[in-house]
Structure 1
Amino acid sequence: MFIMTYQMEERRREKNAKRIKAIFAVLLTAAGAVIASLSTKTDTPWYQSLTLSPLQPPPSVFGIVWTVLYVLLAISFALVATQHKPRGSAVFGYILNIILNALWSPVFFLMQEPLPALFIMLALLVNLVILMRNVWPSCRAAMYLLIPYLAWLCIATVLNVSVVAFN
C-alpha cells in the first residue's frame, strides 16, 4: 500500500514538473513575441522612406505569419522542455533563439539599423539550424514544428538583405 501511494505521488510530482516546464517554455516564447511585436513599427517616417524588396509581403501578413510561427515555436519548446531528460543544449538553443528573435525588431525598427539587424538575423538562422540538429535525436515532432520557422527566417533574411542593399 505504501509503495503504491509513493508511486502515485511520484507520478503526480512528475506531471506537475512537466506542466511547470511547459508553462515556462510557452511564457518565455510569448515574452519574446511581445517584445518583438511592441518594437515593430512600420508606420514611422524612417520605415516608410525605405526602398523595400518587390517580394515584401503586405504588413498584415507579418502579424499572421509570426503569430503562427510563435505558436509552433512555443509548442516545439514545450515538447522538448517536458521530456524526461531534456538536452541542455536544446533548451539553451530555444532560449538563445527567443532572445535573438526579440532583439531583431528593436535593432531594425527602433534603432533603425538594418545592417546590425541582418547580423542578428544570420545568428538567428545559424542558431536555429543548430537547434534543429540538437532537437532531432530526442524529439522529431519538435524539430518538424521548426521547419516553417526556418523557411520564414530565410524569407526574412532576403528582405533584410534587400533593405541593406537598396538603402
Structure 2
Amino acid sequence: MLDRRGQMADGVAVRRGKDWRPIWAAAGWAVVVAMGGGLLTEIGPWYRGLIKPSWQPPDWLFGPAWTLIFALSASAGIRAWEASRDLADRRAVVIAFVANGVLNVLWSLLFFKLHRPDWALIEVVPLWLSIAALAWICWRRSRLAGWLLVPYLAWVGFAAYLNLTIVRLNGPFG
C-alpha cells in the first residue's frame, strides 16, 4: 500500500493514505447480492397472476428502493470496517454481511424462482433478524453505520408483511 508520501507498502496501492480495499469489497459484495437477487427475480406470468394487495408499491419502485438500500448497506459496511479495532472485529462485520447477503438472495430464490411465497415467508424471519444483527454489529463500531441499515430493516419488515398478505390471498402453494 502507499504510505502518506505515496510510497508502495505491502504490495497494495492506497491512494492518499486511504485503504480502498474495504470500499471495493463492500461495493463488490453489494453488487453481487443485488445481481444475485435480481437474476432470480422473475416478473413473469406466475408473478403477474398473483393476487396482490392494493397497497403494494408499483413494480418500478422496487429497483430504486433496493439500489438505495444496497448503497446504504455498503456505506455501513465501510464505516463499520474502518471503525473496527482489530481483525476479530472486522471478521464479525464480514461474517454478518455475508450471512445477510446469502439470506437476501435465498428469499428471491424461494419467492420468485421456486414460486414458493410460503417458504419465503418462513425465510424472511431469519433474513430480518440478520439485518437487525447486522445493524447491531455495525452500530457497536459506528453509530452512523448502524443507522444506515435502518431503511433496510424497515423495507424488509414491509416486504415481510407484503409476503404474508400474498400468501393469505393466494395460498396454498406447491
Q: Give the TM-score taking structure 2 as reference length.
A: 0.82
- Is it true that 1:108 corresponds to 2:84 in the alignment? no
Q: Counterpart in 1 of 2:55?
A: 55
Q: Counterpart in 1 of 2:34?
A: 33
The question of whether the paired residues in 1 share the 8 Å contact of 2:52 and 2:169 is answered with yes
Q: State the percentage of identical aligned residues.
A: 29
RMSD: 2.4
The separation in 2 between residues aligned to 1:63 and 1:9, in whole angstroms, is 40
- What per-residue deviation string (whole Å, max 9, x for no partner) do you get for residues 97-118 of structure 1? 1111112112111110111111
Judging by fraction of residues, say which structure has more helix. Answer: 1
SS in 1 for 2:140: coil
SS in 1 for 2:20: helix
The question of whether the paired residues in 2 share the 8 Å contact of 1:26 and 1:77 is answered with no
SS in 1 for 2:115: coil
The separation in 1 between residues aligned to 2:13 and 2:160, in whole angstroms, is 40
SS in 1 for 2:141: coil
Letter in 1 for 2:27: V
SS in 2 for 1:18: coil
Runs of at least 5 residues in structure 2 that lack an aligned partner in the other structure: none
Runs of at least 5 residues in structure 1 that lack an aligned partner in the other structure: 1-5
The separation in 2 between residues aligned to 1:85 and 1:25, in whole angstroms, is 18
- What per-residue deviation string (whole Å, max 9, x for no partner) do you get for residues 98-142 of structure 1? 111112112111110111111221111111111212222211111
- Is it true that 1:153 corresponds to 2:118 in the alignment? no
Call closer, same or farther: CA 1:11–1:61 in 2, change over 3 Å.
same
The separation in 2 between residues aligned to 1:126 and 1:114, in whole angstroms, is 18
Task: Give the superposition deviation at 1:7.
Answer: 8.8
The question of whether the paired residues in 2 share the 8 Å contact of 1:121 and 1:157 is answered with yes
Higher relative contact order structure (alpha carbons within 8 Å, sequence separation ≥ 6): 1
Q: Counterpart in 2 of 1:124?
A: 127
The question of whether the paired residues in 1 share the 8 Å contact of 2:42 and 2:112 is answered with yes
Task: Give the superposition deviation at 1:8.
Answer: 6.2
The separation in 1 between residues aligned to 2:157 and 2:148, in whole angstroms, is 16
Task: Give the superposition deviation at 1:85.
Answer: 2.5
Deviating above 4 A after TM superposition, structure 1's stretches of 4 or more consecutive aligned residues are 6-15
- What per-residue deviation string (whole Å, max 9, x for no partner) do you get for residues 60-116 of structure 1? 010111111111111111222233526232321111111111121121111101111
- What per-residue deviation string (whole Å, max 9, x for no partner) do you get for residues 23-81 of structure 1? 11210111000111122122x22111111122211100101111111111111112222
Call closer, same or farther: CA 1:10–1:131 in 2, change over 3 Å.
farther
The separation in 1 between residues aligned to 2:4 and 2:30, in whole angstroms, is 33
The question of whether the paired residues in 2 share the 8 Å contact of 1:76 and 1:142 is answered with yes
Q: Counterpart in 2 of 1:143?
A: 146
Q: Counterpart in 1 of 2:168?
A: 165
| Number of residue pairs aligned between Structure 1 and Structure 2 | 161
